[in-house]
Amino acid sequence: MTQKMPPVTLNDFSYGLNDRDDPSLIPNQALTAVNNFIIDRGGIKLRHGYVKHTTAPISSSLRQIYTFYKNNGSNELLGVSNGLLFKESAGALEQIPFINALSSSKTQMLTYKARDTLDDVVLVADGGKLKVYNQTDVKEVTPHVPVVDSGNNINEPEDPGLNDLVNLTNFRSIAIKQDRIYALAHPTVKNRLSFCHHDPRLGYAVYDYWPATHFYDMVSEQNDEAITLRTFRDAIIVFNRRTMWAFYGDGRTVTDYELKRINVPSGLLAEDSVAYVGNNLFYLSDTHVYALFSTERDYISAEIVSRDIENTIKAIPLEDRKRAVGAFHDNKYYLSFPDGTTLVLDTTLPSPMNKYGSWTVFSNIKANSFLERDGYLHFSSDTGFIFKLDPEALNDDGAEISGMFRTKRLDFGFPVQVKKFKRFWIVAKQYDSESSTFDFNIIIDDIRREINSISTDESGVWDEGDWDEVNWDFKDVVQKRLRVSERGKTIQFEVTHATLDEPLTVFQIVSLFKLKKAK
């Protein structure tokens, strides 16, 4: 005996990817697999592609890219490759002359002003001595010689003290807070935070004067090492490999400061994964993405953001995880790995499964660094090009965008009863100027049933399945109906796409079945 059931509609995929829990137990709005699809509350669509931003490549891998904003309203796009600094000119990258080459291509950059001229400059932390780009060339910062001027009651050798910049030969991270520059720069004490002098006569910080007493050493556990710095709330956050610290205060002596250890589950694995996401700081640890948050002025902690995709993260080799780079753009956190795998969290889609948003996965985005510029997300690459994610692009610099998504294992609320599946409808978008095709597969009790390519074009070539006529809701939405005769207790739907220069948007999957009596 069977009971005819009303059509069941699956039209919300907004919970995103969940690869951690059993496919039968996750919410209906979640997916068990997804690649190169953007998730929305109104459907799911193939992601857009990227195009070249620069017209010609440089000869070696392009690492950090940075926008040098100037007080006159202009800016320069900078890039680092093979220990050299480049700037964009007429769509190409040209090398900037140097007096001192960079110590490495692994850099952090910070825009500030010169001591005497107040001209805009870029400070470069490259793992060696502090460098400065003065809009003409790149050179090491010349340490300021403390002066004595009895007439003006100035005795810098005593207050603030001798300049220790000559001994700070491992600038690997810099940050600024309340017009004072902080750095991880000591060559042997890897957990030391140094900070520069704020000159009361000039009224601003001077990056060429780092008094020998202006430092704090964090308690070292198991040779814990400070990795990078960020400003967060009213503190400098020091990300260590196993711990995390908040540095509060500002003043002329170390007694004006306070260093507190933050209660976090894990330290930092990938220094370039750190990104500001709304009111939080996201970072990648050994196994998870965490959100650093603050509910009160002096209370900072962290919680897991990536629990739903922990198996995806664990499948990435540890050395690749160490090289992950992160960015926040258009309400999405991007976390890219060397093989092109890019995890994307849409913060506009919070859910009971994840209050921070929904995850999807992109591929073929091999980013060495990200940069938001002119409203677009750019990334540098080993090819020597800078690429731009472009909402109008239907391919990845000429390569097809292969996509797929798979639903949960659906039982429609009747886990032990056999269903006799009769028909399926797929509601998808028809585009005005582009074709749109995809493969639709069903998995009944873990047995796959494949259907050939399906076109949403009204006049397209149909596959060899038994399809009825096209039905229209309105002009750019089509319904495809498929007759089947299959039985099973559970079903999954899978959509794949692998055609160059074709978009795809799926709105709904509708099932019609009869329910057999439980035995």
Q: What percent of the chain has pLDDT over 70?
A: 96
Measured CA angle at 349 (ends 345, 353), to 5 deg: 85
- pLDDT given for residue 465 in this prediction: 41
Whether pLDDT at 432 is above 70: yes
pLDDT band at 325 (very low <50, low <70, confident <90, very high): very high
Whether pLDDT at 457 is above 90: no
Consecutive H or E run containing 370: strand 369-373
Reading the block at residue 184, the tokens are: 């991880």
- pLDDT given for residue 297 in this prediction: 67
Measured CA angle at 302 (ends 299, 304), to 5 deg: 160
Reading the block at residue 512, the tokens are: 């019609």
- pLDDT given for residue 17 in this prediction: 98
- pLDDT given for residue 148 in this prediction: 92
Query: Which amino acid, one-letter code, is at 84?
Result: L
Average pLDDT in the 310-326 region?
97
Measured CA angle at 15 (ends 14, 17), to 5 deg: 110
Cα–Cα distance list, 495 to 107, 334, 384 (Å): 42, 24, 34
- pLDDT given for residue 339 in this prediction: 98
pLDDT band at 461 (very low <50, low <70, confident <90, very high): very low
Q: Are strands 30-35 and 16-17 parallel, antiparallel or unpaired?
A: parallel
pLDDT band at 463 (very low <50, low <70, confident <90, very high): very low
- pLDDT given for residue 452 in this prediction: 66
Contact, 281 vs 237, CB < 8 A?
yes
Whether pLDDT at 164 is above 70: yes
pLDDT in tens, 235-275: 999 999 999 999 999 887 788 999 999 999 999 999 999 99
Mean pLDDT, the chain, as a whole number? 93
- pLDDT given for residue 119 in this prediction: 97
Average pLDDT in the 204-229 region?
92
Cα–Cα distance list, 76 to 91, 205, 375 (Å): 11, 23, 16
Q: Where is pLDDT greater, at 39 or 467?
A: 39
- pLDDT given for residue 475 in this prediction: 56
The DSSP result for 226-278, as a single string, is EEEEEEETTEEEEEESS-EEEEEE-SSSGGGEEEEE-B-S---SEEEEEEEET
Average pLDDT in the 79-106 region?
96
Reading the block at residue 165, the tokens are: 């910049």
pLDDT in tens, 165-194: 999 999 999 999 988 999 999 999 999 999
Residue 354: φ, ψ to 5°: -155, 110
| DSSP structural state of residue 128 | B
- Min mean pLDDT across 216-230, 449-463, 487-501 is at 449-463
Q: Where is pLDDT greater, at 354 or 219?
A: 354
pLDDT in tens, 3-40: 889 999 999 999 999 999 999 999 999 999 999 999 99
- pLDDT given for residue 19 in this prediction: 96
- pLDDT given for residue 467 in this prediction: 46
